[in-house]
Every structure is written in C-alpha cells, then in structure tokens.
Amino acid sequence: MGTVGRGSAPRWLAVMAAIVLLGACTSSTTPSATSAPATGATDTPASLPAPPAVEELTLWVNSADAQPLKDLWARYEDDTGVRLDIVSFPSDGFETALLQRWATGDRPDILEWHANFNWLVAINPKDTLRDLSGEDFVARQASGITASLDGVTYGMVLNTPTAWGMFYNKSVFDRLGLTPPTTAAEILATCQAIKAADPTLVPIQESAGSLWPPLILNGQYTADALEAGFLQRLIEREAKVNDADSPWLRSLQFYKQLQEQGCFNKDILTAEFENAANILLGGKAAMVPLHSGFVGLAVDASSLDDVNSTIGWTAWSEARPVVTVEYSPNGTYYLPKTGDAVREEAALGFLRFMTGPAYADYVTAASIIPTLKDVATPDSVAAPLQSIADAIAANGSTIPIWSVLPGITDLVNYPGKLLNGELTPQSAVDLLQKEAEAGAKAANLPPWPNP
C-alpha cells in the first residue's frame, strides 16, 4: 500500500471526465439549434454538456458504511447527475440477506461486497461479475491489495483492509535494547529477553476472555506459508489443516510454547481486548497481538500524538514478515453482469469516478490509508497504520487460513480450549478439518480426498 505524491485536478475536470465516461447521449437527446431558448443565450449544442446515459443506478450496500463514504456517493450524484438507488442491507446478517436476494437472480448495477475468498466465491464471480482486470484504476491498486480470484480482478478496494501484526511499546523496547521481531523465533527470543531483563513486564498481553483475539497470533504465524502456496493447496484440496506439515498445526504448537514459557499475562483466559490499549500505552506489557482496529482503540484511550510516540507495529510470521489482511465489504465495489450495455457502461463510470480525483478527498475525510498508489496518506493517520501499509507494500499479504475453509463455526472457541488444556494442537486441527469437510459437503463444494 505504498503512497506517493497526491495529484489534483480542478473540480470541473472531474465533472466533465465523469460525464464522458458515463457515455454521451445520441443527437436526438441533445438540444438542437432550433430548440434553443430564445432568451439571448449564447450556448451552442457543442458547448453544452451531454446528459448522462442513464438517470439512475442501483447500488447494494452494507448499512455500516461510514459517513465519508456516503458523502462520496452524494458527490458522485451531484457531479454526474446520476442518482443512486441505494439498497442497504443490515450489517447484522448482511451476507445471508444479500446472498438470499442474489440467489433469486436479482442484480444491482453496482455491488458492495467482500474481497475475502470465501465470500467472493459465494457469488460465483466468473459467471456473475464483470472482469475489470484491464482498467487503469486496477493498475493503480496498491501492492498486496486486491479483489480478485484465479488471477482475475473483479472489484476495487477503496478502504484499508484490516491487518494483523504485533503492536509494541517503543519506550519499553528502547529501554531494554530490543529490536521489533519479524519471525516466530524472534518473538520467542524477545519474550525471553524481556523476562530476563524485567520480570515485572508482561511480554505479550493476550485477551482470550474476548474469545477471538488469540486467533490473531495463531493465524499470523501461518502468513508466509499461506502466501508461499499452502493456501492454494487447501483451495485445490491438495492439503488439509491437520496434515503433518500444516502451518496451522505448527502455529498452535508455537502458541503452546509461548504459554509454557510464561510469555502471556497470567489472566489470559479472562482478559478482554478493550483493556489492551491502556496496558500497552502504560508500559505494563511490551507487546499486544491484535488487528489494526487496535489503533483506533488506542487513540480513543489517549490521543493521536500519544499513540504515534508510544506504539510501534511490526509484521511477522513463521519465517518472514508477511501481513495477514481481512477485507471489509464496506468500500469494495463490483459490477455485476446485467445484460444492459448502457447501464453497465454507466456503472463502470461510477468506479472511475470513485477512483478519480474525488478519492483523495475521501481518504482525507475518512482519515484512512489510501489503497491507490498515487494518493497520499493524510497527516491524521496514526503512524502504526502507515507502518502496516509499508509492510504490505514491501512483503505482501495473505488472507487468513480459515477464509478458504467452509462451514467453520467453532474456531473462535479453540484458543481457550487450547490454553486450558482441553485441546491439544493436533486435536484442535483435527476438529477444524472435520468441520471444513462437513461444511464443504453442505455447500456442495469439492470434498477433500480420503487419506
């Protein structure tokens, strides 16, 4: 997600570009010389802007979209003259509700939807979505960010994905002479160094009381192996999560090793993630493994300046610093095949507008890391988020392992059971694979072959 200098263009250029992209009307809809108002107006047909090819486009969205994104839709309407018929699906149950309507054959002109593998597969993009791979705005998408499947780009990601990694207290690391870890071995060595230098410090603050947080560390361990091919092997049913060489199995074994060596807080089974920001900011813990939403939590608990000066972030995985990302549906857009060439061209104009000069203003209003390479990051973005963007651009990214495992329902309960000894690493991955196989069968997806 690299960032370079932000270009700008006069507002009228953006307006005219959008109108051209939406397609000019035929001469029968353009005012003629004989129909010009007899009021002394000097405009000629050649100087009048052509009206939009369509008056309205249908847009399906998630109700959780933030106001800056809604303002961008409104700007599109104002600048192009095309109205958006917005169908908002409640964020609670969004996927189920939208897929039910999608299954009837109903299609919007523009679809806001996930870029994660499991949800993209669910709408059968090869048959239902337009291939955007050749568009200029796709070439501008930041490295490591994509809404694609099997090498085909079907959508554009405008909002920064949620990213995983390790947050750390910079003052603690400086005081103890520590270097931010980028591999599992370095995570363990850093833990041991902290315990030796200052036994009062918690090396890694974990929040299993909130159930899901340990999945961040569990899953991040696997990132390099997934990017190197294990994820694709799972998709193609050439590997299982409980295989002897499974990176998920190794990640759980590593997690137990961290627990056994005293790297976690003693109240790990009851600690909740909402308290992690104050613990890290206060220097009571050296590291916190959470996703990038933690930054907002920390800013709310203190201030942007305090976060920038106190909290660092480092990418890591088993052997190299690949970043795990999860995409939100909010701000990710696709163009369904509707069979109406005029409307499809107009919908393409919507994406061109959204990725045009107006996007830089949206990034500033939303205070996010841009996902287009030629747009600058606003000063209001916290430094740890910029570190995440730089790491994705430098080392790549991957989606989490469970994104390609159908029917997973009990995953969130596995970390606690692993920590309290109810499950072993092997029994946990055995259960996960069993769930995935049942989920594939229920969804009529390709099965895993028997041993």
- Quote the pLDDT of residue 31: 29
Residues sharing a CB contact under 8 Å with residue 296, sequence separation 6 or more, in sequence order: none
pLDDT of residue 50: 52
Could you give the CA distance from residue 326 to residue 212 in angstroms, rounded to a whole number? 14
Question: Is 278 strand, coil or helix?
Answer: helix
Strands 162-169 and 323-326, bridge-based pairing: antiparallel
For residue 29, the model assigns a pLDDT of 31
Question: What was the pLDDT predicted at 451?
Answer: 61
Strands 332-334 and 323-326: unpaired
Give the residue ranges of DSSP H helices in 262-356.
Answer: 276-281, 293-301, 304-310, 341-354
Domains of the chain with bracketed CATH: 11-21+52-161+328-373 (3.40.190.10), 162-326+396-442 (3.40.190.10)
Tally Cβ neighbours within 10 Å of residue 338. Answer: 16
DSSP 3-state of 410: coil
Residue with tokens 């933030």: 66
Q: Tell me the chain's radius of gyration from C-alpha atoms.
A: 25
Residues in the chain where the model's pLDDT stays below 50: 1-49
Question: Are the beta carbons of 390 and 377 closer than 8 angstroms?
Answer: no
What's the half-sphere exposure (Cβ side, CA atoms, 13 Å) at 291?
19
Q: Where are the alpha helices (DSSP H) in 29-145?
A: 67-80, 94-103, 117-122, 125-128, 136-139
- Report the C-alpha gap between 110 and 158 in whole angstroms: 14
d(CA 363, CA 92): 26
Residue 295 contacts residue 385 (beta carbons within 8 Å): yes
Q: Element (H or E) spanning 185, and its range?
A: helix 184-197
Confidence (pLDDT) at 335: 98
Q: Is the dihedral of CA 248, 253, 256, 261 positive or negative?
A: negative
Q: How many residues does the chain have?
A: 451
Residue 54's SS3 state is: coil
**The pTM is what?**
0.80
CB burial readout 342-368, b (16+ within 10 A) else e: ebbebbbbbbbbbbbbbbbbbbbbbbb
Ranges of beta strands (E only) in 233-380 are 285-291, 311-314, 323-326, 332-334
pLDDT score at 130: 98
